[in-house]
Chain A
Amino acid sequence: MTLIATRPDPGDARPYTFPDLQRVTVSGGTVIGAHLPGQALASALLLLDAGAARETSGREGTATVLAKSLEEGTAERDSAAYAIALESLGAELSPGLDWDTFRVGVSAPVPQLLGAVRLAAEAVRTPRLDPADVNRVRDDEVTALRMDWAQPGPRADAALRADLFGAGERFGRPMHGDPASVAEVTVDDVIAFHRAWLRRPGVLLVAGDLDTIDLKALGEAAFAGTGGEPLAAEAPLGVPVRDQRRIILVDRPGSVQSTLRLGHRAPERATPDYVAMTLSATVLGGAFTSRLNHLIREVKGYTYGIRGSYAMSRRFGRFEVAAGVQTAVTVPAIIDTLGEIDRTQQFGVTEDELAVARSWRAGQLSVEMQTPGSIVGALSTLVVHGLPDDYYPTLRSEYLNTTLADVSAAAATHLRPHGLTLVVEGDAAIIRDELVAANIGEVVDAQV
């Protein structure tokens, strides 16, 4: 045999480091810079405390329409001139929204970064918001959502969210709204959202070669003309969980796969169990060799992939398993999935599985944090959740040192297999009877 049979041992590990951080306070705002020597590109992200939660009830999607309206011209220049000015720097604006923040990112070669941040600030602080443009963007967004909702997934996501958080609550509605709510958004809604939330300084995050980047100049550009005090944090929403499982069927006639979204509520990001929960979810459904992916994909061949994870924001969290499975095996796939969640909740994880989860999560902190874009993303986690500058080295050591008992305890406490909502988006005519007969939980039809 010409192969070497013995698996090699690892070499000496270099110590983990997160880039050095610098802080500059200027023009009423804060700039946080991460030093990445030698990188040709730099990224900047303006983080504003203006997440989807700040939208008016019934007008979900207001912030998204605003985000898409920012490039429709500014006080300085029209939309065509704006696009050419920004793109001629090699930059494109990436406005985005999550539950906690409104964020606007730009990446550009280092010498172009200041120009790109100036243009980003121009769009964020002084957009034209001409009523005709805003109405058109709103109509386009309704169409874009209809396009998106024609794919498998968004309707199932909306059904799960409504069931977990309440269809009448902001957190129970899709983050970007739905076609009906976006259609209700008015020019006044968009202007009011801008006035209330986008004229506050926020925090500017920068990653790049700080030897040649002037953080103060970037801050002056980002914070010019802004004002307002930081906003008070609001209390977490708690973790109510159903006492019985429930199946919500979303009909998608002709679908050759069933899209599964199984979930329940979970604690918010600040939970002291964050690391143990993350590790337990990694064993259950995070890694490729996770229990779910191993059984449902690698043994049964029901799916191209299945994932289970916690998602946590400032005020709430949720556990979710997501997969697309072949229509004919919808029920067997659900039963196997429930079995693995149940087993993990009851009996915890093994030392071998945990070893993989620990090393993977720890290693990802260097492997997946090489680029300016990924580093500004990491910085945003620090800011949104009030974490210290040495958070990532600490997190790495926590991943490596959390005990089996702690991880199994987190699985026992935070997984709620009997309170799951199971959303199944697929061809109801084919799968309904079998779903009912499986006796997993009451089957109801979704109104989405």
Chain B
Amino acid sequence: MTSPSAPAVETGYPWPIQTTRLDNGLRVVVSEDRTAPVVCVNLWYDVGSRHEPAGQTGFAHLFEHLMFEGSAHVAKTEHMRLVQGNGGSLNATTNPDRTNYFETMPAEHLELALWLEADRMGGLVPALTQETLDNQREVVKNERRQRYDNVPYGDAWLRLLALLYPVGHPYHHATIGSMEDLNAASLDTFKAFHQQYYAPNNAVLTVAGDASPTEVFALAEKYFGLLEPISSLPPAPSAHLSGPATTPVRETVTADVPAPRIYLSHRTHQFGTAGYDAITVLATVLGSGRGSRLYQRLADGARIAQPDYIGSYGVDLAHAPAPLIITATAKDGVSVETLEEGLSEVVASLVTEPVTEEELSRAKALLTTGWWRQVSTVGGRADTLSRYTTQFGDPSAAAYRLPQWLAVTADDVTEAAAYALKPESRVTLTYLPESNGESA
């Protein structure tokens, strides 16, 4: 079967990109697009849970919450009121690698968004109070309950990280952190956290949408230009790992879950490398969509896996080999052993049965749509440019990702599978229902 009529893609980022760097080290990226009267302001701070020392897990994320609770000239809760009260959408996220903050606004409020971001970059500490810390600590505990503790299989990601990365590795602990650590945190620790990481020379500011580079550069200088850089940024903890794991690890959890489920996971390559591009294509061939190997062989073929809960995906981490996660949930009456055997066979097939042209073009077509969906909003574009500036020093590197995916060959996928998906490097996390005794 020939590839469909997809034209050769030369760039994944057909919008203009202009950059500058303020004297204090703040990198500013602008991507003008006048299509709609909206603009996104996005900041990446190069601090995530990988920076947290033992005893301070969850601090980067709790800190992200505190950034919404007022700063030198912005009262508690005023940040949200000013953004939403001027028509905008906003949020922030923390992951192992970094913390990002973003708001998409009607374009006439660009300056307001920049003012708000500058005020909390440079003026958070004087506004931090014990009351705010105590309140947001409770909010974060509820976030943990809601997202991890109160849902079946909800703690899988927390468990996988600990199994994939050795004790002491920056990715060993999950971003949500330990409640004990959070309980022990003092106000001074969070003030120190801000002073250590929240500064112009540890951040990237991207503006995408209805604004010109000239205007944005001038406003960035006006609002951020006088903020003091950090004189000595602490080096990130070493994330070095010498290749994939060499011993398989297995954990079985008996819990209040409705059906047996398996997660297989491997450390692969770092996000941004050619090896990880191959893993991205591999994950799509293996487990994205009804045409994927996993769906075709286990959900549609052998019919041992539930069709709604099967798939594979990479987690795009950039500072150490990133995880590939493969998961399936047993159909009624199917034993977890049968399911694991089926999963292992399909994973092994990536080495023994080379990926066909049809599989490859299907995967690339899905990745192409996914890429264009990601950059279809000014918010998606701004976040992408902040990422590439923070992680690779160059926003225009974002344009290469899609062409690089499309350049991955069947041999590249086989090679990536042979390197990263060996049974001896595998983490196997299995959930069994508490009353599983009779059926499996």
Question: What residues of chain A have their CB less than 8 Å away from a CB belonging to chain B?
Answer: 1-5, 7-14, 16, 36-41, 71, 79-80, 83-84, 86-92, 107-109, 111-112, 115, 136, 139-140, 143-144, 146-147, 150-152, 254-257, 287-289, 294, 297-304, 324-326, 355-356, 359-360, 362-364, 366-368, 370-373
Contacts and interface: CB of A to CB of B under 8 A. Distances in A.
A299 B131 CA distance: 9
Contacts of A298: 76-77, 135, 139
Interface of B: 3-7, 35-38, 72-73, 76-77, 80-82, 84-89, 104-112, 115, 118-119, 122-123, 134-139, 141-143, 145-147, 149-152, 210, 222-223, 226-228, 256-259, 289-291, 295-296, 300, 303, 306-309, 329, 331-332, 358, 361-362, 365-366, 368-369, 372-373, 376-378
Interface centre among A84, A302, A372 (most CB of B within 10 A): A84
Contacts of A255: 150
A430 to B, nearest CB: 14
A88 B77 CA distance: 47
26 contacts: A2-B227, A3-B122, A7-B73, A8-B111, A8-B115, A41-B373, A71-B290, A83-B291, A84-B358, A90-B365, A109-B368, A111-B7, A140-B331, A150-B152, A287-B84, A289-B80, A299-B135, A300-B135, A301-B142, A303-B142, A304-B139, A304-B143, A304-B146, A367-B89, A367-B105, A373-B373
Contacts of B145: 256-257, 304, 324, 326
A289 B84 contact: yes
A301 B182 CA distance: 15
A367 B306 contact: no
Nearest to B118: A3
A301 B6 CA distance: 51
B73 A5 contact: yes
Nearest to B226: A2
B108 A150 contact: no
B154 to A, nearest CB: 9
Contacts of A146: 258-259
Contact of B376 (A16, A39, A115, A288): A39
A41 B377 CA distance: 11
Given A92-B366, A107-B373, A370-B378, A115 B138 contact: no
B37 A13 contact: yes
A90 B368 contact: yes
A84 B366 CA distance: 11
A10 B112 contact: yes
A288 B365 CA distance: 38
A359 B85 contact: yes
B37 A366 contact: yes
Contacts of A287: 80, 84-85
Contact of B122 (A2, A41, A288, A299): A2
Contacts of A302: 138, 142
B4 A115 contact: yes
Nearest to A84: B291
A147 B291 contact: no
Contacts of B4: 88-89, 112, 115
